[in-house]
Chains A and B, each alone.
Chain A
């Protein structure tokens, strides 16, 4: 089912991104091999200029991934009417085995690209560009992830087949069609709720700690990653139930729909921002001892940690507000 506008758009986007990064790979290898900041040779000058191209390229890919991620989810939601039993995006993504892996791969690429941009930013703030080699090595590592995400997406879209009426026979697909319900595997509400608030508090606390003392950068990154996973689990387990006021509707995507006044954006935008910032704190930490970065890393890290802490608090606040506003009684007593 390739001839759907949004699918063509998504495939076009991932094709162009992979193509651009593939074309950039030889340049990156060249930089890794011949970079020498102290040389004034023509080659070094050329390499320095190329770094501008590569960082622009990556910002472009990052922005594209962000929009593509949104479009992917919307598209899944829109296509749910084409499959028997699919009520919303979850059903569409479950139509074949590649749906959720493709989504997860895209999220991973998104966070990898954001971490790369943080490292890039730190590097450009130092006078001697100490991280150039590391940066472009990381760029080469990013490439297989991007290719994998694009492949998963392609496999997913190729495997889709709409259940439409054919002119030759009576149509009743229901007999063999598996139930594609919005009942995603969800954990029990109360324990999840405790873990959810605990993890968010810890993640925000680690951010504040880093801001004040510049310590435990790894913890910030680790807890940010954990908070992302736990928040998604929390949305599946109880936040969505409260929003929909329905004890069995666990869909994490319907929150983004106009029926629920786009509340999901208030939850997901801060969450993605906080996670990207928190992971960024950890991503630049290994370079804190580089002489020219000694003052840069803590400064950038502090700003990122502040953003992460503030955004995690916002996520918790938004989730609490959703629960308080709801008329659903999930936990008694």
Chain B
């Protein structure tokens, strides 16, 4: 075993010095290889971080949301619905929610107006998200007026601006008291936008939803796990599309690697010829070439992955963000929390190192079988 390790060590040593002797060629390969890894790793790290952020946001969401449908459109929950739900077993907590959208012609953006269930807001005041505060240039204590859908003008004081860390979800959020909400949108008492239910036992969620849809045929239950699943599959799909497009780049890279590996210079050929003349076997040359590929791959993978990490988590992935995160007028400014995922590293490996290895297989063999005398004479 020791002899084997020693042999590999000498081979690696030899390979490194042989790589260093042809700096220009190998640096070119390394650069392209690193670029490919960087490109794909950026996409993967970014989507994974987004997926993680979505999952974290939804952790606190209610397990089931009940919406009432009228002619296939979302409608208000009439009085009495909330009381009838109380009889479904397994429902731990239920709450009628009030929220809606408001279009602000000043900044041409939509705000989400919401009545928070867990905190009281004084009448005539608002808590606004950081994105909206930025867009309208608001500070605490400022007055802001909105013309309601009924045509009346309402004025509010800004009581607080929501913290920056929650901006991914609260960029366009406006928190308002219940009385203000009802008069602003002209919603009669007893009506709600939808109903949020919390169910303690995750295995019960589907049963509760089934009972709800039976009891309220005019409504649809939406489950938290369904929302999560949809986000997951949207992000996966986007990532997959980008990667499928990038496969052209990978193909180009494989051809490039093939070219580089088969286009041996006269020097390299002579080197292999001399090695074989002094007693190296074809297998040894193959091993040397294997180490060459492994070292180049490892370097490219590490540098590329590191660069992608910096790009995504340090520089907010300025290159790919427009494709991957979608857009909105009040787009939240957010920092993604760095996540590295072994599964993704393995996938990335298949997209980069694997094509490289497959493309260089035949050229390496061609180089290794060269006849010493033919090479040295030619």
Contact = CB atoms under 8 A, between A and B. Distances in A.
A126 to B, nearest CB: 15
A57 interface: yes
For A20, A170, A173, which residue has the most chain B Cβ atoms within 10 angstroms? A170
Interface in A167-194: 169-175
Given A4-B240, A170-B213, A174-B206, A56 B361 contact: yes
21 contacts: A3-B240, A3-B241, A5-B243, A6-B347, A9-B350, A16-B354, A49-B282, A49-B369, A52-B283, A53-B365, A56-B364, A60-B357, A70-B346, A71-B343, A162-B233, A164-B226, A164-B230, A165-B222, A169-B220, A170-B213, A174-B209
A112 to B, nearest CB: 20
Interface in A1-46: 2-10, 12-13, 16, 20
A74 B341 CA distance: 11
Chain B contact surface mostly: helix
Given A81-B232, A172-B213, A3 B244 contact: yes
Contacts of A212: none
A56 B365 contact: yes
B229 interface: yes
B144 interface: no
Interface string B224-262: 011111101110110111011001000000000000000
Contacts of B329: none
A82 B228 CA distance: 9
Contacts of A13: 350, 354
Given A3-B236, A163-B226, A165-B227, A57 B361 contact: yes
Contacts of B346: 67, 70-71, 74
Given A5-B239, A52-B368, A81 B229 contact: yes
Among all A-B residue pairs, the 5 with the closest Cβ atoms? A170-B220, A3-B240, A9-B350, A174-B206, A49-B369
Contacts, number: 121
Nearest to B47: A5
A8 B247 contact: yes
B36 interface: no
Nearest to B243: A5
B170 to A, nearest CB: 23
Contacts of A82: 229, 232-233, 236
Contact of B354 (A12, A52, A57, A81): A12
Given A49-B369, A172-B213, A2 B349 contact: no
A64 interface: yes
Given A3-B237, A5-B243, A9-B351, A165 B365 contact: no
Contacts of A78: 343
Contacts of B237: 3-4
Nearest to B350: A9
A218 B241 CA distance: 50
B358 A60 contact: yes
B288 to A, nearest CB: 13
A71 B350 CA distance: 10
Contacts of A8: 240, 243-244, 247, 351
Interface bin, chain A: 35 or more
Contacts of B222: 165, 170-171
B361 A5 contact: no
A5 B67 CA distance: 34
B210 interface: yes
Contacts of B357: 60
Given A4-B240, A5-B347, A52-B282, A60 B361 contact: yes
B143 interface: no
Contacts of A67: 346, 349-350
B27 interface: no
Nearest to B241: A3
Interface string B200-220: 000000100110010000011
Contact of B220 (A16, A56, A171): A171
A40 to B, nearest CB: 14
Given A81-B232, A164-B229, A172-B221, A12 B210 contact: no
B69 interface: yes
Contacts of B227: 165
A74 B67 CA distance: 36
A171 B213 contact: no
Given A52-B283, A52-B286, A56-B361, A5 B220 contact: no
A165 B226 contact: yes
B226 A16 contact: no
B133 interface: no
Contact of B240 (A5, A56, A170): A5
Given A49-B369, A170-B220, A20 B229 contact: no
A71 B233 contact: no
A292 B221 CA distance: 75
For A5, A12, A52, A172, which residue has the most chain B Cβ atoms within 10 angstroms? A5
B75 to A, nearest CB: 13
B195 interface: no
Contact of A12 (B213, B219, B351): B351
Contacts of A70: 346
B343 A81 contact: no
Given A3-B236, A5-B44, 9 more contacts: A3-B240, A3-B244, A49-B369, A52-B283, A60-B357, A163-B226, A164-B226, A170-B213, A170-B220
Contact of B369 (A52, A164, A165, A170): A52
A53 B239 contact: no
A10 B232 contact: no
Contacts of B282: 49, 52
Contacts of A60: 357-358, 361
B362 interface: yes
Contact of B209 (A3, A163, A169, A172): A172
A164 B237 CA distance: 12
A4 B344 CA distance: 11
